[in-house]
């Protein structure tokens, strides 16, 4: 899809810094991250365990506000946003596949997938059910729709998380190791879903940012960036 030239980058980061203190000591994790993701792009981020990949996604996804530097998504600065505006961005425009899934154990599989649609509050009950079933079908789990989360395997949970992250057509999809627990074939199918998430037409365009150790994903990304020493470097290799 062609995106008007004046569309701002989906993600624009300048000099992002984030540290964590363990009691008396403060450890710098992100130390000057620069990143621009354009509409239509799928960017992979690789890096050693503990390098700060999840911390970076938390900032970009408006989940963490304790950072220094400039972070814009869809042209809007994340500094100084009200809580309402942050929630609004998260529920309408962002999709998350968390490293640890964050599924709600007391809800059924189908209900978990429906959550972003209920939060967005724009669809009827019938539309929510239909869209959620379609998303579940796309990850091959429609026959588990009414069942509990608790009995699912790690890879099945991961696929539910992918269905939930994409069901509302987010403009920015953030996925943290989305194929980490999947066999090669299932991983390839999940990648197709994530890949599609950047192509569906919408004003201003869409993009996907994936943290991964999966060579097959990195191979198919537009760019692979490596997080090391608190900064992003071009041309990262999958370890």
Ligand X SMILES: Nc1ncnc2c1ncn2[C@@H]1O[C@H](COP(=O)(O)OP(=O)(O)OP(=O)(O)O)[C@@H](O)[C@H]1O
Return the one option of ligand X, Mg ion, none that residue 127 interacts with (CB less than 5 to 8 A, by type): none
What residues between 198 and 217 interact with ligand X by CB under 6 A?
Answer: none
What residues between 36 and 65 interact with Mg ion by CB under 5 A?
Answer: 53-54
Q: Quick one: tokens of 16? A: 């992002």
What residues between 57 and 116 interact with Mg ion by CB under 5 A?
Answer: 99
Residue of 16, 39, 46, 47 that binds ligand X (CB under 6 A): 47
Return the one option of Mg ion, ligand X, none that residue 55 interacts with (CB less than 5 to 8 A, by type): ligand X
158 binds ligand X (CB under 6 A): no
- Give 27 or 106: the residue with its C-beta nearer to ligand X: 27
**Side by side, which strands form the sheet with 11-22?**
25-37, 11-22, 68-73, 76-77
Residue of 50, 75, 154, 229 that binds ligand X (CB under 6 A): 50
Long-range contacts of 120-125 (CB under 8 A, 24+ apart): 120/91, 120/92, 120/168
Q: Quick one: tokens of 175? A: 């996925």
- Give 57 or 93: the residue with its C-beta nearer to ligand X: 57
49 binds ligand X (CB under 6 A): yes
Residue with tokens 């790690």: 154
Long-range contacts of 150-153 (CB under 8 A, 24+ apart): 150/105, 152/109, 153/181
Name the 3-class secondary structure at 209: strand
């Amino acid at each position: 899809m062609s995106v008007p030239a004046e569309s701002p980058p989906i993600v624009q980061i300048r000099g992002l810094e984030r540290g964590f203190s363990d009691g008396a000591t403060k450890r710098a994790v992100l130390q000057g991250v620069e990143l621009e993701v354009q509409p239509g792009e799928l960017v992979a981020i690789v890096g050693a365990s503990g390098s700060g990949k999840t911390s970076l996604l938390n900032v970009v996804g408006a989940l963490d506000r304790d950072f220094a530097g400039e972070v814009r998504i869809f042209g809007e600065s994340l500094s100084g946003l009200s809580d309402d505006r942050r929630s609004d961005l998260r529920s309408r425009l962002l999709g998350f596949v968390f490293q640890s899934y964050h599924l709600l154990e007391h809800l059924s599989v189908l209900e978990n997938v429906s959550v972003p649609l209920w939060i967005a509050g724009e669809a009827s009950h019938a539309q929510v059910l239909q869209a959620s079933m379609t998303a579940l079908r796309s990850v091959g789990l429609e026959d588990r729709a009414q069942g509990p989360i608790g009995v699912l395997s790690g890879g099945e949970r991961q696929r539910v998380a992918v269905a939930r992250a994409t069901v509302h057509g987010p403009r920015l999809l953030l996925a943290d190791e989305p194929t980490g627990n999947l066999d090669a074939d299932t991983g390839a199918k999940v990648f197709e879903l994530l890949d599609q998430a950047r192509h569906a037409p919408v004003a201003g365009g869409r993009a996907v940012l994936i943290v991964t150790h999966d060579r097959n994903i990195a191979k198919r990304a537009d760019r692979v960036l490596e997080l090391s020493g608190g900064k992003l470097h071009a041309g990262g290799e999958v370890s």
